[in-house]
Structure 1
């Protein structure tokens, strides 16, 4: 209690002294004022929009260096360094028109630059733009981004796949903290709801320098919903309908902001029936229900800014066993998962004149239960404290505390430098009658330093070095094999002991990046980076049936850390009417871990053992965007993505996505003051045959999916209504994705889906 009181007095002792303000005017290329341009300081969570005369005022700005972002649709985004001192600031800002898109401030990298100023090529998409695709889940909406796919089990379970890597090789951040939710399992979904998320940033390649273990394959970084503009209050109601699953998604949010305090709250409820395939059948028990609550509180003092957020997510997800009884019910059948996530994040920014300290703390509780039909026998397992109407066969509670402290040195000539320490304390406890992974504790600590050198107006160099140390220890546990005679009378149990382990892993990682303009319109980025991933609990200690994958898995306690080295090269060219980009990569992996069949069977399940082999992945993404003159409303886009994954012995890696070619024709119309941002689009996604497969993996045939999109905004007094309508799989094509967990049973993916989205903002 004394520590808490000291902390509270310390925070408020940082003063509510005289506050700085920033005044300015935003003008276009003709020196005319721009109304409703967004003016925002991202790390302070302070923002507003310009008045009719282009003017704006931001209050309560701490002393120190800040980055002011100004954007307006159809104009280049400006990222301006400002130095707040004792005196109020005044600034005039000129925006120049652009045809294609607004630049975004990248928050997943520590220097918080615009993407156009960044050394690494990072994909950034607003959730609002992804919602136009009409996907029923957040992870499915991300598959419209080149290089990103999903490994799915029905519509309710999806895992991100970045350039062929998934599971523990892709790290997920939300609210600025690491999300830990037993992501090693193929049937373990993302665990996030898109409501209350502002945008997503995707690092396609090793990011271990910034994030440590598990960022070997890439990072999904979800930015939470922004607070309301200063001295403003907003109410938002959204409603989506999905024809294929007879689904509904409802979300209500309220947020308000004053000079010092900010607050927001959002509640969401999703419900879906079994999905329908083109022949009219429904895939039994692919239904799911989800409840989500998000809270946020911001505090701005003179030299201190704090933000605390909380997210509660409760998802009940059916586990299908094929096409059985046909139903449109939304009540779960056995087997199913009940997954509860609590995510608490606290972000603190301390401004020390020209220097700055960031301290981010996170606490994540993941309670994963799986219910199935089982014999009600007492095998000596300790019951959970809660009284259940049905005892969960699998009941795991994972608690993770993370910390991340960074010191931003004052800029020295052309150098910007950051040093930091990151760490994690994690514990896993079992309360169910089955044990998938043992009780265990994990302790991480990592030290990093990174710096940017601004060579000139055209060129940047960024380099960094990091060291990580991980200790992982487990308890021993018993596996009970039930013995039955021919008439199925119970004879007894055979007990297998899985030994405890205590492992330590240490790894150095580095990155080196270079960005330059070869010519006036051509930007190139070259990045060299190493990454690592320590083996997870399932790979080290499994011994038993994993029902999600329908196999008997045997871990290997002698596994070593995976290590990789990736080279990325990107080229971009753009003018008023034409954009083109090409991203190529080569990823060399040492000690790649995967489950391989032994040819044996245990308890009627095929036995898989975790082994290691060196591997390589290579490929890239290529795209063009044409905006022909004088057809200013027309956009033609084409993207191609490919990845090939092979072991060094010549065998192909499993679960590598098929090559994909996406083509879109889109019309955008400005409209008037009542109807604006109107769009119409047709999209054709072409997936190629995937026959570069592992020996124990089935090939899949190629297919084409035609999709339709339309929508726009209606402005009525102070109410803005956004309408999105889409038809996915317009021709009701029957197909099986190569990354579907149901392809082993030849179960098709969903058929045609009409999606209507309504979003009201007051």
Structure 2
């Protein structure tokens, strides 16, 4: 049984030598959302006193002699709580009960509220709370989620992690933070998620296509960060967490304060972390056929630091609806291991006597975001809209070096190798009608505009502007209390403009190497002026069937698609994070996928079992492939180019859990993913 107890002891204002009677007062809370639990039963032994908490979760025992007591709290759907007390003064308790897992499963199955989890019931979805995140706390938010079946963390470099759902990642998995899709140059394998994991109270993981709600980038699934629960009663609460990890000598802290007064709820959080070079269980590593020493078994220059701030305010409206405003800023600086950045160089690996310093090369990123959520009743339905602005600024810095020979350092900021500045404006509107009837409908519209600018003495990705818009219609029909049918359709359209780029330094270099003028200018055209327009449908049909209280079955079949991203269409340069020349393909078409997802659940008093198979077929999957051609860029190696082919991805997850008693559980899970290129017949 897991619980959190906050005990505040206070002495009476006036005490007398003969005052030997004391009181116990307290509040009963839900651990996941901090709401008060009205009507909880509180017992005090050995006096055999029993009281029931009022509608604010408050209870009290008066006129108690000093001594040892056992306080017990019981509430349907929650684990029992037992607290030993040595009473020597008046005592105030805040007791937090953990929801029973059996009850949680029942809530998920029978919930009536019209959120995304209920609307898309045929798709597998996991919802987790703060308790789960604290128990599985790891280096970052994605790693903390990776213990969920079907979700993996792709870890690259020092502290960089990207989510992978059922074998799909990058621009195929959308991270939705409080209604807005996170946009932070996620095409880069060495670009982290940039979300403060300590600022997340609740999250959902949707395993399967979510293009109906979130458009192109949700073809593989969605990780949804939800706003915190708002307490029912006025309160003030503070929280402080100290963080320490041994592998990289990390230390940090996260502090939160929140207040509820009347219709207003405010919350603020600050998190800082600082870590040193990572330890590894080896003395050498191999990179590009080079064997490089790891002195002291610590990866030189992999130290980093992080500083995050967030502020949220909520105003209660009518019928429990209201308005959220959320602001956040995530700032990070991470060193690159010098042996794997650019051409290997053994002298750069020599120890410098420090393990917490960050030298060249390194990456610095800052993600600022402001989100407004509004929900209100309109006519017979509910109107909800989300507005968001994001700026993602990423810089990669390295001491100026040139492969051309004639290139001179820039007059301003000479060590800036690459800079990407992405500004994103987003908007979503959804209208839900007839929510309490057998046939309910949802109509929605979303739009997004991206403005990307680049800089630095190297070139990888050109500047671009992208505009997308989409509309969807979703139906949910409840046949009876056992069967629910769901279906919907969506159409998206988008326009991408890429700024052309001519590399005069490369043209000059190639002329010196003996290329003729036409050939040199052709290679020096690193990015063409490009205008592309895309449009496609996505849709799904499914059902949720509960033949008996212990059994449930879900099935969903659908079609989804994804626009080619700017890097897949127009990149042309050395990506130092992967050290390869990546070449875009201007002829790529939107990626189309056809998915079949199933889920079977069995829940009894002691056993819980879940089986979730899936199958996905892509008619034109986009991927990066080694071409066998050598790059004309000096010291760049072979070219990796984007192309398309038919592909299949299949697999599933299975998990089982047995509850020995209320204190002990035994669980196990397994997942399997198989993929194959159907044109070239290799995985």
**TM-score normalised according to structure 2 size:** 0.78
**Inter-partner Cα distance in structure 2 for 1:646 and 1:197:** 36
The residue number in structure 2 matching 1:329 is: 355
Aligned to 2:674: 644
Alignment-derived partner of residue 46 in structure 2 = none
Contact 2:203 2:226 (C-alpha < 8 Å) held by counterparts = yes
Task: Confirm or deny: 8 A CA contact 1:115 1:122 kept in the other structure.
Answer: no
The equivalent of 1:446 in structure 2 is: 470
CA distance in structure 2 between the aligned counterparts of 1:113 and 1:185, rounded to whole angstroms: 29
* Structure 2 counterpart of 1:206: 209
Contact 1:38 1:72 in 2 (8 A): no
Whether 1:460 aligns to 2:492 is no
Instruction: Please state how far the C-alpha of 1:504 moved relative to its aligned partner.
Output: 0.6
Q: Which moved further from structure 2: 212-221 or 435-444?
A: 435-444
Check whether the contact 1:74–1:99 (CA below 8 A) recurs between aligned residues: no
Residue in structure 1 matching 2:647, options 587, 590, 615: 615
Q: How far 1:151 sits from its partner (Å)?
A: 1.6
Q: How far is the alpha carbon of 1:382 from its aligned partner? A: 9.4
- Whether 2:180 is the aligned partner of 1:188: answer no
Distance between the aligned counterparts of 1:96 and 1:200, measured in 2?
A: 16
Deviation at 1:332, TM superposition (A): 1.4
Q: Flag the 1:419–1:196 CA change in 2: closer, same or farther, 3 A.
A: same
Equivalent residues of 2:253, 2:272 under 8 A apart: yes
Q: State the partner residue of 1:635.
A: 665
Question: How far off its partner does 1:223 sit?
Answer: 1.9
Which range moved further: 560-569 or 223-232? 223-232
Matched residue, 1:399: 423
Which whole-Å deviations, capped at 9, do the CAs of 1:160-189 have from their partners, x for residues lacking one?
111111111111111221100110111111
Of 113, 138, 142, the residue aligned with 2:141 is: 138
Counterpart-to-counterpart distance in 2, 1:636 and 1:116? 32
Q: 1:481 aligns with which of 499, 506, 522?
A: 506
> What is the CA–CA distance in structure 2 between the aligned matches of 1:419 and 1:453, rounded to whole Å?
15
Is 1:570 aligned with 2:587? Answer: no
Does 1:73 pair with 2:65?
no
Greater Cα radius of gyration, structure 1 or 2: 2
- Say whether the 8 Å CA contact 2:151–2:165 is kept in structure 1: yes
Q: What is the match of residue 368 of structure 1?
A: 394
- Secondary structure of 1:373's partner? coil
Mark the CA change 1:464 to 1:648 in structure 2 (over 3 Å): closer, same or farther: same
CA contact (8 A) 1:588 1:617 kept: yes
**Closer, same or farther in 2 for the Cα pair 1:116/1:341, shift >3 Å?**
closer
Structure 1 residues 647 and 336, CA gap change in structure 2 (3 angstroms): same
Contact 1:426 1:442 in 2 (8 A): yes
CA distance in 1, matches of 2:585, 2:183: 22
In structure 1, how many angstroms separate the alpha carbons of the residues matched to 2:546 and 2:184? 41
The range that moved more, 211-220 or 600-609, is: 600-609
Equivalence for 1:596: 625
- Say which of 341, 346, 353 aligns to 2:372: 346
**Structure 1 residue 616: deviation in Å?**
0.4
Is the contact between residue 402 and residue 422 of structure 1 (CA under 8 Å) also seen in structure 2?
Answer: yes
Is the Cα contact below 8 Å between 2:127 and 2:204 reproduced in 1? yes
> Quick check: which one's helix share is greater?
2
> Could you say which residue in structure 2 is the equivalent of 1:358?
384
Q: Report deviation, 1:99.
A: 4.4
The aligned counterpart of 1:698 is none
Counterpart Cα distance in 2 of 1:561 and 1:422: 19
User: Where does structure 1 lack aligned partners over 5 or more consecutive residues?
Assistant: 1-33, 59-69, 76-94, 654-762
Q: Is contact 1:470–1:506 with CA below 8 Å preserved after alignment? A: yes
Aligned-pair distance for 1:548?
1.1
Deviations 1:509-536 (A, max 9, x none): 0011201113331110001121111111
Structure 1 position 50 matched with structure 2 position 38: yes
> How far does the alpha carbon of each residue in 1:391-430 deviate from its partner, in whole angstroms, 9 at most, with x for none?
4211111010010001111347411211011010111011
Contact 2:399 2:415 in 1 (8 A): no
Calculate the aligned-residue CA RMSD, in Å.
3.2
Matched, 1:557 2:589: no
* Pair 156,482 (structure 1): closer, same or farther in 2 beyond 3 Å: farther
Higher relative contact order (CA 8 A, sep 6+): 1
Out of 424, 429, 446, the position equivalent to 1:422 is 446
Structure 1 pair 500/105, CA: closer, same or farther in 2 (3 Å)? farther
Give the match for residue 68 of structure 2.
none
What are the residue-to-residue correspondences of 1:526-545 with 2, within 5 Å? 526-545=555-574
- Deviation of 1:50 (Å): 2.7
8 Å Cα contact 2:200/2:226 also seen in 1: yes
Q: TM-score, normalised by structure 1?
A: 0.70
Provide the aligned length of Structure 1 versus Structure 2: 574
